[in-house]
A = this chain, B = another copy of it.
Amino acid sequence: MKISLRNVTVIPMTGDEVIAPGEVLIEDGVITFAGRAGSAPCPFEADEVIEGEHFVVTPGFVNSHTHAAMTLFRGYADDLPLMQWLNEKIWPAESRLKPKDVYWGTLLCCLEMIRSGTTTFADMYFHMDQAARAVEEAGLRASLSRGLIGVARGADRALGESRAFIKDWHRAAGGRITTLLGPHAPYTCPPDYLKKVMRLADELGVGIHIHVAETTSEIKEINEKYGCSPAALLHRAGLFSYPVLAAHCVHLNEDDMKLLAEHRVGVAHCPESNMKLASGVAPVARMLDAGITVGLGTDGAASNNNLDMVEETRTAALLQKVHTGDPTVIPAHQALAMATRDGARALGLGEEIGTIEVGKRADLVVWEWHAPHLCPAFNVFADLVYAARASDIHTVIVDGRIIMRNREVLTLDEEKVMAEAARRARRLVGK
């Protein structure tokens, strides 16, 4: 399959370049050319041509932290204190989850993500073989982790399930699915359990996805138990010798940031979830100054309540400005880099995706740049980050395959997914 994007505006995100009119050529899933329109070296017989000055092409969004199947719980419980939300609402509903619920919930999540320009996501949940099947069908790229609670019954069995899942699915779906081990958090996975996780990581050669320093109560609990911060505890346990994707990182001190930078821990910043649950504001500007790779994530739809990376990118920039009191921090271009290139790096996929450059897998979003809210169009970065909407997304390409064309999702039966997911969601919450 050969695709040509012609006479479009290309935003490669390798730097701050805007190529207009630009051209991107895709062959067998790989970007074979990206540059000025008409300057491709060889003739190219495309099977499909997407053409037009009103199209802007960016790398696909990388949603670097979510719990896909929790889309089933969107709007089920809101505006509650965290522990009440978990104890009285989310955990009881999750206890009723069957494997097929995760399949349909993940499909619903994929549908929403495709429509809002996400091409890759990092997921942590249960029944991950079902999640993987959904990702395979949706045509998305994902990094999947089976969540591990070290303090729960069945913690060792969960390690075994993780091993089986990773063996079955790592680099499956034509390479689109990768896997990570998913120890939930420092406060649910004590150092002894983390050691088992690390042995498994050695055996399987995969990295680790973990929640870190999400709330002040976590900071307090870890400090009381271990006399250090969650990041320091993980470092002490040896976790940072592995590739780590650390979600949230809301409450980090300067030493924590040094550790994360030094050990190249990737951070998944989830501003809207942190706002909605009142967890706090992550020190993103300082993390970036420290040299940490920070991607953006929506977290699950139960605490967001959407999976819209267009909006998440905007919120990340705006929140950091008001938090630091400095309107110059996280300028538009940097916010977009976090949402694409840096998210890919945080997932350990920086060599394969995240930018539009020759040799990378073709994960692209085509935006229709013609709407009142995008007029007069002075600066495409500012417009993308501060004004654009998910509904401006016209076409989505993952791994060189068009999975949404002109706002029609080609890989999934949208009506069927919504109906079945809603039916199952009602059962889960007893409605």
Instruction: List A residues at the B interface (Cβ < 8 Å).
Output: 71-72, 74-76, 78-82, 85, 108, 111-112, 115-116, 272, 274-281, 301, 304-308, 311, 315, 317-319, 321-322, 324-328, 331-332, 370-373, 375-379, 382-383, 386-387, 389-391, 414, 417-418, 421-422, 425-426, 429, 431
Q: How far is the CA of A426 from the CA of B375 in the complex (A)?
A: 11
Q: Say yes or no: A372 contacts B418, CB within 8 Å.
A: yes
Q: Counting chain B CB atoms within 10 Å of each CB, which of A80, A306, A421, A429 scores highest?
A: A306
Q: Which of B72, B274, B276, B332 contacts A78 (CB 8 A)?
A: B332
Q: Which residues of B contact A82 (CB under 8 A)?
A: 327
Q: Quick check: B379 and A75 within 8 Å, CB to CB?
A: yes
Q: Are B391 and A425 in contact, CB atoms less than 8 angstroms apart?
A: no
The chain B residue with its CB closest to the CB of A379 is B75
B78 with A379: CB separation less than 8 A: yes
| Chain B residues closer than 8 Å to A278, beta-carbon distance | 321-322, 324-327
List, sorted by A's number, 27 A–B pairs whose CB atoms are closer than 8 Å.
A72-B376, A74-B387, A75-B378, A75-B383, A79-B331, A79-B332, A81-B327, A81-B328, A85-B327, A111-B372, A274-B322, A275-B321, A276-B318, A277-B327, A278-B325, A305-B387, A306-B386, A308-B389, A315-B315, A315-B318, A319-B322, A370-B418, A373-B390, A375-B421, A376-B421, A377-B422, A390-B391
The one of B279, B304, B417, B429 in contact with A372, judged by C-beta atoms closer than 8 angstroms, is: B417
Distance in angstroms between the alpha carbons of A76 and B81 in the assembled complex: 41
* Minimum C-beta distance from A265 to chain B (A): 24
Chain B residues, Cβ within 8 Å of A301: 387
Tallying the copies of this chain within the complex gives 2
Cα-based distance from A372 to B113 in the complex (angstroms): 9
Give CA–CA (A422, B279) in the complex, Å.
42
| Contact (Cβ within 8 A) B390 A389 | yes
**Contacts known (A278-B327, A422-B377); A75 close to B386, Cβ less than 8 A:** yes
Tell me the smallest distance from the CB of A304 to a CB of chain B, in Å: 7
Residues of B within 8 Å of A328, CB to CB, are 79-81
Contacts of A275 in B (CB 8 A): 318-319, 321-322
By a CB distance below 8 angstroms, the chain B residues around A85 are 327
Residues of chain B with a CB closer than 8 A to A431's CB: 378
How far is it, in angstroms, between the C-alpha of A390 and the C-alpha of B85 when the chains are bound?
A: 28
Complex Cα gap A311–B82 (Å): 23
Question: A184 CB to closest chain B CB, in angstroms?
Answer: 21
Q: Which residues of B contact A272 (CB under 8 A)?
A: 318
